[in-house]
Structure 1
Amino acid sequence: MADRRLQVFSAVAKYGSFTRAAEHLFMTQPAVTFQIKQLEEHFNTRLLERGHGKVSLTQAGEVVMAYAERILDLSDELESRVSELTDELGGSLNIGTSTTIAAYWLPQLLEGFKRKYPRVIPRVVVGNSQLTEDRVASRELDLALIEIASEQPAVERLAATRDELLVICRPGDPLAKYDKLTAADLRDHPFITRDPGNGIRILAEEFFAAAGIGVDQLTVSAELGSLATVKHLAAEGIGYAIASRAAIQRDIREGRLVAIPLEPRIYTPLEVIVPRDKFRSRLITTFAEYAVAELQHMAAAGETA
C-alpha cells in the first residue's frame, strides 16, 4: 500500500547501490532509476549522490529516508492489522537461518508450519549466524534462527534449545579411536573450520582458547561456509571438523563419519531472534513461538532416538 517510490528509494539508500536494490526488489535497474527520478522530480531536489560506484544520501535525501522508514513501517503494520481480522494467517514471512539450522532443523519446522498455515509464504535466506543477525538488526528480515546471537540491542533473543558439538572424521582417522577428545588431542591434526561469523566456529575457537591454544596454533586444512562440504571433506579424510550432533546423524548411521565427544563437552544454543524495535505482526509472533516449541520438541526427540 505504501508509495512504491518510497520502497525503491529506501532500498537504494539501504544497499548503497541501484543494482543491489534492483536485485532485492526483483526489478530491473532502469525501473529502479525511473522510480528514483520520479521521486526527485516530486520533491524538486536531488536525493541521492552518485559517484565512485557508491550511492549516498544528500541532506534532503536523509530527511526523506527518515520519513520513508516510518511510512513503510506504518504501512506494514496497517496491512498486518487488517489481515489479522481474518482467522487464517497468510502472507510472506522473511526468515533468516544459519547453515546448520537450514540443513537439519528448518525443513521439518517449515513443513509443520505450512501444513498448519498453508497461506503463509516463507522466504528463507541462509547465511552464517553473524550475517543473519545483522540482517535482523537492520530489519531486512522478519526473524531468524541461528546458533548463537550476540548482545546487539536491536535484536531480541528467544532461547529455544541447545545441541551438542562433536568432532567428526572418517572412520579410519587416527582420532576415531578416542572416546573423547581434548583441545590438546586435536591441536596437531588437520582442522576443517567454518567461515568467519559462523556460530560453531566461534564456539570452537572459544573451546581451544580455554585450553590456551590460539587459532594460529591450529593446523587448519580448510575454511568453509557450507556444512555439506565440511562433512564431505571430513568423510574423505581431509581433516576433522566440529559439528552439531543433529546435523550429522544420517552420516553417522550410514557409516560415512564417526563422532567423538569433546572434553569438556560444549553445546551450541539454538535461538530465534526478532528485531526489538519493529512492529511484530501476529504472523511473526506465531512463527517465532512455533519455532521455539518445535526446536525444543525436535531436540528432545533426538536425545531419545
Structure 2
Amino acid sequence: MSDRRLQVFHAVAKHGSFTRAAEHLHMTQPAVTFQIKQLEDHLNVRLLERGHGKISLTTTGELVLAYAEKILDLSEELDSRVAELAGELAGKLDIGSIPAIAGYWLPPILERFKRKYPRVLPRVVMGNSRHIEEGVAAREIDIGFIEAATDNPAVEPRVATQEELVVICSPDHPLARHKQLTAQDLAAHPFIDRDPGSGLRQAAHDFFKAAGIAEDKITLCAELGSLTAVKHFVAAGMGFAITSKRTSRLDVQEGRVTAIPLEPRTFTTLQMILPRDKFRSRLITTFADFVCDEIARIAREEEGAQ
C-alpha cells in the first residue's frame, strides 16, 4: 500500500536506469518517467541528475532514497502484520546464518516450513557469527543462527543444540591414521583456520588453549572464511582443519576427507537468536517455535538411526 511514486523512485535509484527500472517493475519507460516527475513536482526538488546516458542522485535524492527505503519496508511490514491478524501467515522473513547451519540445518527446516506456510518468503544471508549477531541486534535481520553462545543484551537466544567437532584431513595425511587426536598431536601440523568472528574459530582456539598450547605455537597454514574453501584446501592435502562432524559427513562418505574425533571430545554451540522486541511479529515467533520443534525432531531421528 506504499506510494507508487516512491516505489518507482527506489527502483530507478537502485538500478541506475529508467529502462532497467521499467523492466523490473513491468512498466513502460514513459510511465516510469511520469512517476518520477510527479514525485519531483510534489516535493518541489530535483531528485536525479540525467546526463551522458547516466543517472545519479542529487544530494536531496540521496536523502529521499533513505526515507523511501524506510517507508517501503514499513509498508511491507504493515501488509504482513495485517495479513497475520486476518489469520494468514505471509511476508518476508530475513534470516542470517553461518554457512554451516545454512547448508546443513536450514534446508530441510525451510522446506517443511514453506510447505506449511507457502506465502512466506524466506531470505537467507550468510556471514560469520559476529556479523549475524550484529545484524540481529540492529534489527536488520529477523532471526539469526550462530555458532557461539551470546551474552549480547540486544538479542534473545531461543534454542541451542550442540555439534561435535572433529579434525578433517586428506586420507593420505599423517594424521589420518589416528583414532583420536589431542591438541599436542595437532600443534606441529599445518592448520587451516577460520576467519576472525567465526564461532568455530573460537571453539578451535579454546581447544588448544585448554591444552596449554598458545596461538603462536600452532602451525598456521591459512585463514578462510568459506567452509567450502576449507574443505577444498584440506582435500588437497594443505593441512588439517577443525569443523563439525555434521558438515564433514558427506565429504567423509565420498572419500574426499577423513574425520578423526578430538580428545577430549569437544562441542560447539549452535544457537538461534532474535532481536529483543515485545512487539515481535507472529511470523517471526511462529518460525522460531517451528525451528525449535524441527531441531528436536531431527536430533531424535539421528539418535534412532545410530
| TM-score with structure 2 setting the length | 0.77
Contact 2:168 2:240 in 1 (8 A): yes
What residue identity is the alignment partner of 2:137? A
**Cα deviations by residue, 1:79-106 (Å, 9 ceiling, x for unpaired):** 3431113333111111111011112111
1:296 Cα deviation from its structure 2 partner: 2.5
1:1-305 alignment, distance < 5 Å: 1=1, 27-28=14-15, 78-277=78-277, 279-305=279-305
1:42 Cα deviation from its structure 2 partner: 5.7
Equivalents in 2 of 1:29, 1:150: separation in Å?
A: 40
**Cα deviations by residue, 1:141-187 (Å, 9 ceiling, x for unpaired):** 11111221421111111123111111111122111122211111110
Counterpart in the other structure of 1:17: none
Aligned length: 276
Equivalents in 2 of 1:43, 1:298: separation in Å?
A: 58
**Cα deviations by residue, 1:171-216 (Å, 9 ceiling, x for unpaired):** 2211112221111111011111111111100111111111121222
Query: Which aligned segments of 4 or more residues in structure 1 are displaced greater than 4 angstroms?
Result: 1-7, 41-44, 71-77
1:77 Cα deviation from its structure 2 partner: 5.9
Partner secondary structure for residue 180 of structure 1 = coil
Describe the shift of the 1:178–1:5 C-alpha distance in structure 2 as closer, same or farther (beyond 3 A): farther
1:262 Cα deviation from its structure 2 partner: 1.0
Equivalents in 2 of 1:263, 1:5: separation in Å?
A: 62
1:297 Cα deviation from its structure 2 partner: 2.3
Equivalents in 1 of 2:113, 2:195: separation in Å?
A: 30
**Runs of 5+ unmatched residues, structure 2:** 19-35, 46-62
**Cα deviations by residue, 1:80-138 (Å, 9 ceiling, x for unpaired):** 43111333311111111101111211111111111111111111101111111111111
Contact 1:129 1:198 in 2 (8 A): yes
Counterpart in the other structure of 1:16: none
RMSD: 3.5
Equivalents in 1 of 2:6, 2:182: separation in Å?
A: 55
Contact 2:150 2:157 in 1 (8 A): no
Partner secondary structure for residue 171 of structure 1 = coil
What residue identity is the alignment partner of 2:126? V
Equivalents in 2 of 1:277, 1:93: separation in Å?
A: 16
Contact 1:90 1:120 in 2 (8 A): yes
Describe the shift of the 1:197–1:42 C-alpha distance in structure 2 as closer, same or farther (beyond 3 A): same
Partner secondary structure for residue 273 of structure 1 = strand
Equivalents in 2 of 1:135, 1:225: separation in Å?
A: 18
Partner secondary structure for residue 265 of structure 1 = coil
Partner secondary structure for residue 84 of structure 1 = helix
Partner secondary structure for residue 27 of structure 1 = helix
What residue identity is the alignment partner of 2:168? I
Equivalents in 1 of 2:257, 2:200: separation in Å?
A: 18
Equivalents in 2 of 1:286, 1:26: separation in Å?
A: 35
1:304 Cα deviation from its structure 2 partner: 3.9
Equivalents in 1 of 2:171, 2:130: separation in Å?
A: 32
Describe the shift of the 1:114–1:182 C-alpha distance in structure 2 as closer, same or farther (beyond 3 A): same
Contact 1:166 1:243 in 2 (8 A): yes
